[in-house]
Amino acid sequence: MGASPELEETLRDAILAKPDAILDDTDVMRALVAANERAMGGNIVDMRGIAMERLETRLDRLEDTHRSVIAAAYENLAGTNQVHRAILRMLDPMTFETFLADLGGEVAEILRVDTITLVLETAQDKDNPAVKRLGEVLSVAEPGFIDRYLPTARDGSARQVTLRQMQQGSAQVYGHKANRIRSEACLRLDFGSGRLPGMLAMGAEDAHQFTPQQGTDLLAFFAGVFERAMRHWLS
């Protein structure tokens, strides 16, 4: 067959020199198949073309799923590294005051949250000078506050980790930063027999940083380590 007069000689030579480049280009192949269908006329059904279109659609869906799985894996790995780094930083301090200061400082920065508050239930005076000296990272509440603040699971049990969005945070938990908080992660803490419970509240200004649809395994692990660290300081 001779060359088409409409096809430039340089383009024809380039195609003949590298035919694989045409086969590997999805858009070019799709245009060629469409041109072939037009040339066959409207009365002919190209079964092979239909099959190819279906295979292309399935391949596109498979590639999208593959990319989603890889993205989720990288996100999970990044989250794991964040939690591990935060735990290592949390275990460094030699005094309880430094421990709390780091919690609201470098630990919060590593976890990329806007604020962290440790809520402790106590029957003692909330205006105790020792409590005030520990700064905004510590908030004390009356017994039963945490059970009222956190929702329960469908079976009535207490959730260890609660992720939720909100119009604004609780002033009792986040102080003057409460009006900027749009989502939070609340970790229920068990300090052992004979002690009132506690809660670690992580607040974010981004309403999508913590949502109920997210996994909680890493935060549950962080809560477990934090409980053990607190038992050491409370002993």
72 token code pair: 């989720």
213 token code pair: 């649809």
The CA distance from 18 to 165, in Å, is: 56
pLDDT in tens, 61-71: 877 777 767 76
Range with lowest mean pLDDT among 17-26, 138-147, 189-198: 17-26
- Mean pLDDT within 186-202: 92
pLDDT of the residue at 32: 72
Domain ranges of the chain: 9-62, 68-234
Q: Which homologous superfamily is 68-234 in?
A: GAF domain (3.30.450.40)
Q: Are 186 and 199 in contact (CB under 8 A)?
A: yes
- Mean pLDDT within 6-16: 73
